[in-house]
Amino acid sequence: MKARNLFMLASTGLLLAVTAANAQERTYTAAQHDYRVVPVAEGLVQPWSMAWLPNGDMLVTEKPGRLRIVRNGTLLPEPVSGVPEVFYQGQGGLFEVLPHPDFASNQTIYLSFAKPVGDNSTTAIIRARLENGNLSDVTEIFAADASGRSHYGGKLAFDQDGYLYLTLGDRQAPSTGDLAAHPAQDLSNHAGVIVRLNEDGTVPSDNPFVGEQGALPEIWSFGHRSPQGLAIHPQTGDLWMTEHGPQGGDELNLVKPGANYGWPVVGYGVNYGTSSPIHDRQTMTGMESPTRFWVPSIAASGLMIYEGDKFPQWQGDIFVGGLAGQLVSRLEMSEDFRSVVREEELIYGMGRVRDVREGPDGYIYVAIEDRQGAETAVVRMEPL
């Protein structure tokens, strides 16, 4: 199997799966932990995001606009009612589901989605109460000042202080002409940014651009292309994200407040089809360089930082899903959790990996879709 990156791949993680006695179960050999992959929920259509409630229910979003519940290993037949209308075209649809940190007391969840706006769409967040399979008190708390039909972003995360983060893509604005004038370099819109909000959608007073003329106060970082993964590191509290590059140049970034991540002025990708250069350079003073990048692209999607007890040797490591790469990539981190020591490919070739999560049981859950949107599945990695 060909290496996909500049780091040394752990060779033991590149072995092909061996079919187990159960035809639907596969076993794998990997560095530090061998594991099996078993199905958890089948019959889903384009699963996009997973989350768990205190009672053990697993919530799964389906891109066409449905919120599903998996209870005691069974996918309930009826979707949750009350989900807002979504713009289900191209890359648009229902994206992330995220329970409030105090869900046990307030029954509140958040959904990000492509919101219809005339014949176009933008990325929005609603919060609502989830009770008995129904959403009530549905309130829109944010809608991005950026429209289009692609590069929506849509990933959500709460940090340890209760602030809510949302990724927003550049809406595939052309990377031609004056790159410094690209929407992702313009703080007067929400294209290609991460925003930081209070839990009710208001703006925290210590956001980096509050009070700056011509800048939207929600913005936390900018210069992003198509951010598809977002997670808080449990040991350090750092915010990490992954984003797609064009035909190469996918990035893993440590997100800093007010920082510019360079798109499209600098980067490692090239134009689709022609493979002609986009950028004059790959680095520039005043623009953050990625902690890790992929050439060719794996279409990085879904980001998780493991802290469970089922795979103790992987604690603190970053797990990244790959759509085009059809894999889960494990990034072994340094002792300070700020740099990548090596990379290992896991469950390679099972399908397009949309999301990777750690369940409350300490197992690793993976949502797999395919390009056509046929019925797919959530699977679980368990140690042997």
Tokens of residue 18, six digits: 């061996």
Tokens of residue 360, six digits: 């409350």
Tokens of residue 304, six digits: 């998780």
| Closest by Cα among 217, 225, 220, 265 to 247 | 225
Instruction: Give the integer Cα–Cα distance in Å for 90 and 172.
Output: 12
Instruction: Give the integer Cα–Cα distance in Å for 84 and 126.
Output: 8
Decide: 354 and 301 in contact? Cβ < 8 Å: yes
Helices (H) and strands (E) in the chain, counts: 1, 26
Tokens 């029954």 -> residue: 107
Instruction: Give the integer Cα–Cα distance in Å for 367 and 293.
Output: 23
- Catalytic choice (33, 151, 224, 279): 151
Instruction: Give the integer Cα–Cα distance in Å for 170 and 190.
Output: 8
Q: Which residues, including other chains, have CB under 8 Å from residue 318's CB and lie 6 or more apart?
A: 231, 240, 252, 303, 304, 305, 330, 331, 333, 340
Is 190 one of the annotated active-site residues of the chain? Answer: no
Peptide bond into 264 cis (omega under 30): yes
Instruction: Give the integer Cα–Cα distance in Å for 253 and 250.
Output: 10
Decide: 128 and 108 in contact? Cβ < 8 Å: yes
| Closest by Cα among 326, 254, 266 to 297 | 326
Contacts 24+ apart (CB under 8 A), 50-58: 50/97, 50/355, 50/357, 50/365, 50/367, 50/378, 51/97, 51/98, 51/99, 51/109, 51/357, 52/99, 52/359, 52/360, 53/99, 53/103, 53/130, 54/103, 54/104, 56/360, 58/359, 58/365, 58/378
Instruction: Give the integer Cα–Cα distance in Å for 291 and 284.
Output: 15
Instruction: Give the integer Cα–Cα distance in Å for 5 and 8.
Output: 8
Catalytic annotation, residues? 151
